[in-house]
Amino acid sequence: MTDRSVTHATFVLERTYDVPPARVFAAFAAFADKSIKQRWFAAPEEMGPEQYELDFRIGGQESSRGGPEGGPTYAFEARYEDIVPNERIITSYQMSLNGERISVSVATIELKAQGAATRLILTEQGAYLDGLD
């Protein structure tokens, strides 16, 4: 029997870009294009073909599943909880390894105007399950 546990962790990344929030958001929104996002988000070629789906809208889902031949299978399943153009994107997602959920997270991307620049704040809040991560 697996010992059940949950470890919580939060991290925050902050960056400032010398462009307005609309331009920073447009870079994220480019990931609404499945072919663009898959080039960035896809596993390395040696992991073999993977399954990938993307629906970038509030309530939309994103999923990725794959792994090396004969090796472990990783799965990412996300839901877009909130999208406010030029201001924020919030997703909730879970990661699985060989069909066992290893983590559940909420990720928030905030865009704050600072004069002509944008302050990007990414906050990740995770629950890591049963020591499987």
- Positive or negative CA dihedral for 86, 91, 97, 98? negative
Contacts of 40 (CB under 8 A, 6+ apart): 31
Q: What are phi and psi of 35, to 5 degrees?
A: -70, -35
| Per-residue model confidence as pLDDT tens digits over 91-106 | 999 999 999 999 999 9
pLDDT at residue 33, rounded to an integer = 84
| Per-residue model confidence as pLDDT tens digits over 15-56 | 999 999 999 999 888 778 888 877 776 666 666 557 888 999
**112 membership: H or E segment, kind and range:** strand 100-114
Q: What is the pTM of this model?
A: 0.86
Helix, strand, coil % in the chain, rounded to nearest 5:
15, 55, 30
